[in-house]
């Protein structure tokens, strides 16, 4: 049976992991390759590397980093952050990325999703959506790392993205991100049950119970988290064993 | 040992090269017919769309080259599918080494099963030396919307929508639907097994 997936996310700036890590057994906690390899060894099912570098050197450092990751890590990984063209994606895939994620650039130019799916296949195109529930009870799409509100509703944009060829949705709830109070059950459930592609839930995972809830109540295909893994608040093997005992299929 | 990876218009070829490097094996990535024919072992990887890939191979006569190879050949993902007789993906006649046909996963309406299958699934009923030291029900990483049906060449099974062939074998030809290059320790074992065939 296909398993649910646990995905640690590493934020990268200038080729280094940021947001802090608490692994004393790493020679260099800022080295994304070393940290990624450690997570792979501990049983992570996939990795996401999100590049938040804002310099002009970005493309070169990112493709070099992707190449290094691909050499050292034996599980699939996705690369995101500022990807805006077919050519950007070609370079990352050629350097060994398995999937790429697009966010703001795809919203501004939705044709990009069609172009990427046609050129490289839907299986490597992840549409990342940052969403926030407003007072009117609706989930809206936000851009630029959550700084810019749009008038588009999250479900509508996700559906359009899938119709254009996105093979997976990475859904981050801004209401939940950083709170450690649990994932956004309602919007994740809606996307997961109404769209024909896998949905990765992100934002709010703070306890093992939260992961059980997002899989059992919202039917998410995968759950992504960062700091709880970086700061060793939850160890991946413990989490997967716990979920397995709750009857959720896990790769152990 | 000279190991050759067939280069064509499909993705994921570098990942196979890197996986080999991780276990200390170097390989040549090439579409040069002579280099492919002279290799001790050949890997035919790929992620992509069947008809585009077949057209590319036919234009370069690589389909005939592959079909006539005598050394061990390992098709991965799209490579396995192209080694079958026929693929439903854009109604494509394939190389025809395996009699099994390739069909689209068609989940029952309302079943909430996603296509493509993306993620880790188990392989079982393992046959041949390709799976030496690999436990029954080991997890491997899959990314695919089309599958090879069950048949006489099946050497591993996986369940998704229905049971299907996650590996095929005939004479010197092997194919795996999953990605050994992304399947952690199990994948590395399968690659090592292929290299020692």
Nearest CA among B36, B39, B38 for reference residue B8 = B36
Sign of the CA dihedral running A226, A230, A232, A235: positive
What's residue B60's pLDDT? Answer: 94
Which run of H or E residues covers position A93?
Answer: helix A86-94
d(CA B184, CA A164): 32
DSSP collapsed to 3 states, A194-250: HCCCCEEEECCCCCHHHHHHHHHCCCCCEEEECHHHHCCCCCHHHHHHHHHHCCCCC
Crossing angle of helices A86-94 and A111-120, in 10° steps, is 30
Catalytically annotated residues of B: 77, 179, 181
**Cβ contact (<8 Å) for A121 and B11?**
yes
Shortest distance between the Cα of B125 and any Cα of chain A, in A, equals: 14
What's residue A28's pLDDT? Answer: 67
Nearest CA among A86, A90, A174 for reference residue A129 = A174
Q: Which residue from B minimizes the CA distance to A7?
A: B119
Q: What is the DSSP letter of B127?
A: -
Task: Count CB-CB contacts under 10 A for residue B162.
Answer: 12
Is residue A71 left, alpha or beta, with left meaning phi > 0 and alpha meaning psi from -120 to 50?
alpha
What's residue A250's pLDDT? Answer: 97
**Cβ contact (<8 Å) for B49 and A121?**
yes
Residue B85 has, within 13 A of its CA and on its CB side, a CA count of 8
| Burial zone of B168 (CB within 10 Å; 0-12 exposed, 13-18 middle, 19+ buried) | buried
Q: Which residue from B minimizes the CA distance to A69?
A: B18
A40 touches chain B (CB under 8 A): yes
Q: State whether residue B18 is helix, strand or coil.
A: helix
What's residue A178's pLDDT? Answer: 86
Q: What percent of chain B has pLDDT over 70?
A: 99
A193 touches chain B (CB under 8 A): yes
Select from B15, B47, B121 the Cβ nearest to the Cβ of A2. B121
**Cβ contact (<8 Å) for B18 and A71?**
yes
Catalytically annotated residues of A: 11, 130
| CATH 3.40.50.880 fits domain B3-195 | yes
pLDDT in tens, B158-194: 999 999 999 999 999 999 999 999 999 999 999 999 9
Residue B49 pLDDT level (bands cut at 50, 70, 90): confident
Neighboring chain A residues of B12 at a CB cutoff of 8 Å: 93, 98
Question: Does residue B105 register a pLDDT over 80?
Answer: yes
Domain edges within chain B: 3-195
Residue range B26-37: mean pLDDT, rounded? 95
Residue with the bigger pLDDT between B145 and B155: it is: B155
**Cβ contact (<8 Å) for A222 and B119?**
yes
**Cβ contact (<8 Å) for B182 and A75?**
yes
d(CA A201, CA A173): 8
Neighboring chain A residues of B81 at a CB cutoff of 8 Å: none
Question: Does residue A244 register a pLDDT over 60?
Answer: yes
| Burial zone of A30 (CB within 10 Å; 0-12 exposed, 13-18 middle, 19+ buried) | middle
pLDDT in tens, A15-69: 888 865 555 566 666 889 999 999 999 999 999 999 987 666 777 788 999 999 9
**Cβ contact (<8 Å) for A167 and B118?**
yes
Residue range A151-165: mean pLDDT, rounded? 98
Q: Which of A69, A76, A100, A218 to mutate to test the interface with B (most CBs of B within 10 A)?
A: A76
């Amino acid at each position: 049976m296909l398993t649910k997936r646990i995905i640690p996310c590493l934020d990268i700036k200038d080729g280094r992991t940021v947001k802090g890590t608490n692994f004393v057994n790493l020679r260099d906690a800022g080295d994304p390759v070393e940290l990624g390899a450690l997570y792979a060894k501990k049983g992570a099912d996939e990795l996401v590397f999100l590049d938040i570098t804002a310099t002009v050197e970005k493309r070169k450092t990112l493709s070099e980093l992707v190449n290094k990751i691909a050499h050292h890590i034996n599980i699939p990984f996705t690369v995101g952050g500022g990807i805006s063209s077919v050519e950007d994606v070609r370079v990352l895939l050629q350097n060994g990325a398995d999937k790429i994620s697009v966010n703001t650039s795809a919203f501004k130019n939705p044709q990009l999703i069609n172009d990427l799916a046609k050129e490289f296949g839907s299986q490597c195109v992840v549409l990342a959506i940052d969403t926030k529930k407003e007072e009117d009870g609706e989930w809206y799409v936000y851009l630029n790392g959550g700084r810019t509100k749009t008038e588009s509703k999250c479900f509508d944009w996700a559906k359009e993205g899938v119709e254009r060829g996105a093979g997976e949705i990475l859904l981050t709830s801004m209401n939940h991100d950083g709170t450690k109070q649990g994932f956004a059950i309602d919007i994740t459930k809606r996307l997961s049950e109404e769209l024909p592609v896998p949905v990765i839930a992100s934002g709010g995972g703070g306890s093992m119970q939260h992961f059980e809830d997002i899989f059992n109540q919202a039917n998410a295909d995968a759950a992504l988290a960062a700091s709880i893994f970086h700061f060793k608040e939850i160890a991946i093997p413990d989490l997967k064993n716990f979920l397995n005992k709750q009857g959720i299929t896990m790769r152990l | 040992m000279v190991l050759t990876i067939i280069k064509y218009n499909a993705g994921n070829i570098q990942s196979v090269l890197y996986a080999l490097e991780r276990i200390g094996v170097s390989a040549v990535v090439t579409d040069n017919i002579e280099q492919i024919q002279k290799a001790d072992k050949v890997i035919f990887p790929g992620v992509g769309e069947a008809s585009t890939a077949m057209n590319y191979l036919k234009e370069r006569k690589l389909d005939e080259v592959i079909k006539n190879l005598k050394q061990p050949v390992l098709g991965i993902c799209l490579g396995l599918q192209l080694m079958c007789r026929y693929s439903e993906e854009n109604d494509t006649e394939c190389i025809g080494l395996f009699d099994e046909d390739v069909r689209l996963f068609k989940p029952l309406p309302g079943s909430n099963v996603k296509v493509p299958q993306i993620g880790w699934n188990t392989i079982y009923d393992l046959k041949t030396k390709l799976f030496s030291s690999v436990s029954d029900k080991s997890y491997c990483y899959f990314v695919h919307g089309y599958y090879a049906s069950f048949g006489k060449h099946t050497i591993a099974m996986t369940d998704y929508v229905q049971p299907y062939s996650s590996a095929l074998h005939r004479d010197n030809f092997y194919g795996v639907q999953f990605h050994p290059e992304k399947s952690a320790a199990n994948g590395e074992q399968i690659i090592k097994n292929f290299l020692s065939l």
